[in-house]
Amino acid sequence: LDTPLFSGLKGDISASFEFFPPKTEKMEAKLWDAIQELVPLGPGFVSVTYGAGGSTRERTHATVSRIIREARIPAAAHLTCVAASKAEIREVAEQYWQEGVRHIVALRGDNGEPGAAFEPHPDGYANAMELVAGLKDIADFDISVAAYPETHPDATCPEADIDNLKRKLDAGASRAITQFFFSPETFFRFRDAAAKQGIDAPIIPGILPVTNVAQARKFASQCGAKIPDWMDGLFEGLDQRPAARQLVAATIAAELCRRLYAGGVRDFHFYTLNRADLTYAICHMLGMRPETNNVTEVAA
Ligand code: FAD
């Protein structure tokens, strides 16, 4: 009982932070505040998502370029192949390479309503595995791909989903980043099953600090993740108490990370939702400390 909960942590973790491209100037200022807060923690990389069907192509590009230019940290661009021809993908990828982007998170993406069958572009890539191979053909990108501890909804069974992951890695990806999940056992089972099916590349858990269960549940239902019932109980009665919700969210996510750490995990990918506070607090509890005070100092 005397052992402090986080006492075993040695600060030997590596974190990456995911952002989404801002829509407005106000959102851009907020994103940049978050980046300034988080960059001093020395992330292995940060990544910027690609809107459904490539809808944020320009904004993703602008955000990644700005991070590389001003924050001077490795930034990965998410890129989906849905609704794009191979020629369009080539154009985007070549531009990234020219601007110094060396890391791509290669994804299939989704078209139409969640749950609708995936329809590849007639001149495009049929899935993420083909996209990875295509990107490797364009330039020697470092490529990350998606993995699903609770199985992707399109997969016929968990084994087929892991086979698909293996094909993406065999096609040239170096690591997998997972969809969010809330039980460490789910991740460990997935990691073991992947190892059994011959995967030895790093599988990085994706951590989503949840402050709004209803919203998270809606999103989870579209991507094959589950929100456990106990989480509803923890947020019960907190609708009008945002500060308490933040504290609960940080505690849940930090505890998940602590248990993942105890199971050997050292790399964590945080879905920041463009807000620094929660992710910063969780990283702090995991033993991370700022290397410098702000982005200006990093840039200097
Ligand atoms: P794939 O790996 O191509 O396939 C998805 C599933 O289909 C597989 O798991 C597999 O079960 C099945 N499948 C595919 N090919 C075959 C085959 N030949 N035979 C049998 N089964 C097959 N979406 C965005 O729009 N923008 C983003 O920026 C974005 N970032 C993401 C980041 C992470 C870390 C994660 C986990 C997801 C992200 N997504 C993003 C969501 C992603 O686009 C969707 O989950 C999409 O439905 C699947 O993409 P994928 O790259 O996993 O697809």
pTM: 0.95
DSSP 5: T
Interatomic CA distance for residues 273 and 192, integer angstroms:
29
Which residues are catalytic, by number?
Answer: 18
In terms of DSSP H, where are the helices of the chain?
25-38, 57-66, 86-98, 128-138, 158-170, 184-196, 213-223, 229-235, 242-262, 277-285, 295-299
Q: What is the pLDDT along the chain (300 residues), one digit of tens a residue?
A: 556 677 778 889 999 999 999 999 999 999 999 999 999 999 999 999 998 777 788 999 999 999 999 999 999 999 999 999 999 999 999 999 999 999 999 999 998 776 678 999 999 999 999 999 999 999 999 999 999 999 999 999 999 999 999 999 999 999 999 999 999 999 999 999 999 999 999 999 999 999 999 889 888 888 879 999 999 999 999 999 999 999 999 999 999 999 999 999 999 999 999 999 999 999 999 999 998 655 555 555
Atom of ligand 1 nearest to the CA of 131: 3
Give the ipTM.
Answer: 0.97
Interatomic CA distance for residues 83 and 268, integer angstroms:
30
Nearest CA to ligand 1 atom 14: 127
- Say if CB 287 and CB 9 are below 8 A apart: yes
Nearest CA to ligand 1 atom 53: 108
Instruction: Give per-residue pLDDT as tens, 190-228.
Output: 999 999 999 999 999 999 999 999 889 888 888 879 999
- The residues lining ligand 1, judged by C-beta closer than 6 Å to any ligand atom, are 49-50, 52, 78, 80, 105, 107-110, 127-128, 146, 148, 152, 154-155, 160-161, 164, 168, 177, 179, 206, 223
Interatomic CA distance for residues 166 and 197, integer angstroms:
8
95 CA distance to ligand 1 centroid (A)? 23
What φ, ψ does residue 157 adopt, rounded to 5°? Answer: -165, 165
Instruction: Give per-residue pLDDT as tens, 116-133.
Output: 789 999 999 999 999 999
Best mutation site among 18, 150, 164, 179 for ligand 1, i.e. most ligand atoms within 8 A of its Cβ?
164
Q: Report CA-CA distances (Å) from 194 to 166, 190, 203.
A: 8, 6, 9
